[in-house]
A and B are shown apart, each in its own frame.
Chain A
Amino acid sequence: MTADSIPVAPALAGVAWEPGAPKPDAILTATGVRRTFGGLTAVDVDHLEVQRGVITALIGPNGAGKTTFFNLLTNFDNPDTGTRSFNGRDLDGVAAHRVANLGMVRTFQLTKALSKMTVIENMLLGATGQVGERLSRSLIPALWKSQERSNTERADELLVRFKLDHMREEFAGTLSGGQRKLLEMARALMVNPTMVMLDEPMAGVNPALKQSLLDHVKGLRDDGMTVLFVEHDMDMVQEISDWVVVMAEGRIIAEGPPASIGQNQAVVDAYLGSHHDSALDLEADL
């Protein structure tokens, strides 16, 4: 395949296929972000821009710093140096819960379904700006009942869309691993986000559910949301992402449309070791 024949999403046409490439309409940018744990530099990213309205995948071998970088982008962790901005707002010093209120919601690699709460309670928790969540108003149901009702309607619609409506009253702890992933995604949508950050959405999900999860992720884009996800599953990356960012040893080593990544020398080196100068040749190695 030559560079001309590789398909590129229209929004990203003309973007250079190189680390730190500027995007025409970046919703999230990170510059000079560094995070060390003792002597280990987990993340050292010079520059990254994430295009609005598309699905961007963040991939890389184990220990590349993807999840750490993810935590830094969502303010669940603070970088040693560097700046991040979301929708034109500097994220430095902004508390993690405020980032969610700004419209960027994340999920977790180890799914955080709230086990001892029912599925519908999990969903309702996601709604923002709830009057009844303020201590001073919570004692008088009349003040929040109508809002609760409209939130419940929205939650029920989402449950139907994610095929979880039959589990509505069950404890979330009784759901299967895949259903928990679905619930976590549906719950994130209750926040009405502009950007959804998914940390390994396919981990531990059976193949049958995988397809429906893929469709849901695509659905987010079709609804106008921006998606950034961390993933190991290359099939999923190839199938749904519009743009791929590759990390290795804390740095971004490549960017480009999904079809271009497999041929990128830096990526091949990162995954297979640098002495492979082309595709893996087992006989020559043994």
Chain B
Amino acid sequence: MDWGSIIENTTRGLIGEQFIYFGLAALGLNIHFGYTGLLNLGQAVFMAAGAYGLSMSVVTLGLNFWWGLLLGIIVFPLILAAIMGVPTLRLRADYLAIVTIAASEMFRIIARSPSLDRWTGSSDGLTGFATTFYELSPYDRQERYLFGLFIGNQMWVVTVGWITLVLVIIISRLLMRSPWGRVLKAIREDEDAARSLGKNAYWYKMQALMIGGVFGAMGGMLRAIGTQSAQPQNFITDVTFFAWVALILGGAAKVFGPIAGAAILYAILSFTDVALRQGVDNGHIPEWLMTGTQVGQVRFMLIGLGLILLAAFRPQGIFGNKEEMALDDR
């Protein structure tokens, strides 16, 4: 076994790009679900709004990178939240779930459509919108950084990603400790009670949907920048559920829960990937049990098993509060 490469890959999962993209998406979901009780099953579409907001602004419309940044992080997600929220937020939570999952699939399928090739690049997606971003990089393109974990451009994405993460965590924390956050929690607990005390529950839910969407868009945009492409396949429903797994794993309604969840999720995925692959190659894992091509699927089976165990023995998530969870049963 090559422990060096196992450790290297695991660390990359723990602090690397995937962790950042999904950590941001999960932080957004935490505002939606953890604090406000909004069941958003389409976080992928907010991520896509960030990715396509930037790439279409730059490539299709020919705007500069900074306008794309503004459109992708602020304007697109806010419009999207309004479109999905106006008809559903007056209704029960399930309606938002239906609309968000439908919206995310609709966006992906429309973006893939060949007739829109001129605008979205159809299934090939858009490329060449991140030049300005990489020009700002202080790192040497050929050099490896942080004990050789990341090469230059990767390191720049990770650096910007971590700065974004820290900012988002600080904002989340400030928001949730303010009276505004208190109203969100009250809406999660009982919307009618909040309304009977003079709080405009509808508008607060809209604000929460928008802010969580903005966080998701940041994750999606960074992902497009990191892979230097915005493709419909990057925003399939699995993406939403990875963010959900990160949130549930870490523990909802805790500011650090989704971050820890995302880090652990991608550390486990990277670790099992390398470890299983090496096990197969070295003959530690017999051929009749598993072949090298099955590694990708098996690691998700392991994640699934882990989630089942978590639900059975620690339903509140790793950082969640067990006493708080138990109050549901009363």
Complex alpha-carbon distance, A254 and B181, angstroms: 46
Tell whether A135 is near chain B: CB-to-CB under 8 Å: yes
Q: Which of B66-74, B191-199, B234-242 contacts A (4 or more CB under 8 A)?
A: B191-199
Tell whether B323 is near chain A: CB-to-CB under 8 Å: yes
The reply to whether A125 and B330 form a contact with Cβ atoms under 8 Å apart is: no
Which one of A133, A173, A174 lies within 8 Å of B179 (CB-CB)? A133
Which one of A117, A134, A173, A188 lies within 8 Å of B186 (CB-CB)? A117
Tell whether B201 is near chain A: CB-to-CB under 8 Å: yes
The reply to whether B171 and A139 form a contact with Cβ atoms under 8 Å apart is: yes
B197 contacts across to A, CB distance below 8 A: 97, 100, 105, 125-126, 128, 187-188, 190-191
B326 to chain A, nearest CB (A): 8
- Nearest to B328 among chain A residues (CB) is A115
- 16 residue pairs from A and B, CB less than 8 Å apart: A74-B196, A95-B200, A96-B195, A97-B196, A100-B197, A100-B198, A112-B190, A115-B330, A116-B324, A117-B186, A117-B189, A132-B178, A133-B182, A135-B180, A139-B174, A191-B198
- Nearest to A184 among chain B residues (CB) is B193
Complex alpha-carbon distance, A99 and B181, angstroms: 22
The reply to whether A114 and B200 form a contact with Cβ atoms under 8 Å apart is: no
The reply to whether A133 and B192 form a contact with Cβ atoms under 8 Å apart is: no
A157 to chain B, nearest CB (A): 18
User: Which residues in chain B, 184-216, are within 8 Å of chain A measured between CB atoms?
Assistant: 185-186, 188-190, 192-201, 207, 211
B residues whose Cβ falls under 8 Å from a Cβ of A: 171, 174-175, 177-183, 185-186, 188-190, 192-201, 207, 211, 253, 323-324, 327-328, 330
Chain B contact residues: helix, strand, loop or mixed: helix
The reply to whether A132 and B179 form a contact with Cβ atoms under 8 Å apart is: yes
The reply to whether A138 and B179 form a contact with Cβ atoms under 8 Å apart is: yes
The reply to whether A171 and B323 form a contact with Cβ atoms under 8 Å apart is: yes
A151 to chain B, nearest CB (A): 9
Complex alpha-carbon distance, A125 and B178, angstroms: 11
Complex alpha-carbon distance, A108 and B192, angstroms: 9
Tell whether A165 is near chain B: CB-to-CB under 8 Å: no
Which one of A125, A128, A139, A191 lies within 8 Å of B182 (CB-CB)? A125
Q: Mark A145-168, 1 if CB is under 8 A from B, else 0.
A: 000100000000000000000000
Complex alpha-carbon distance, A187 and B190, angstroms: 14
Which one of B180, B186, B253, B328 lies within 8 Å of A114 (CB-CB)? B186
A17 contacts across to B, CB distance below 8 A: none
The reply to whether A125 and B186 form a contact with Cβ atoms under 8 Å apart is: yes
Complex alpha-carbon distance, A141 and B253, angstroms: 21
The reply to whether B327 and A173 form a contact with Cβ atoms under 8 Å apart is: yes
The reply to whether B199 and A133 form a contact with Cβ atoms under 8 Å apart is: yes
A106 contacts across to B, CB distance below 8 A: 196
Tell whether A81 is near chain B: CB-to-CB under 8 Å: no
The reply to whether B200 and A124 form a contact with Cβ atoms under 8 Å apart is: no
The reply to whether A97 and B324 form a contact with Cβ atoms under 8 Å apart is: no
- Nearest to A139 among chain B residues (CB) is B174
Known: A96-B196, A97-B197. 9 other contacts (CB 8 A): A97-B194, A97-B196, A97-B199, A100-B198, A115-B189, A121-B185, A125-B182, A135-B211, A148-B179
Complex alpha-carbon distance, A101 and B195, angstroms: 10
B174 contacts across to A, CB distance below 8 A: 138-139, 141
B207 contacts across to A, CB distance below 8 A: 135
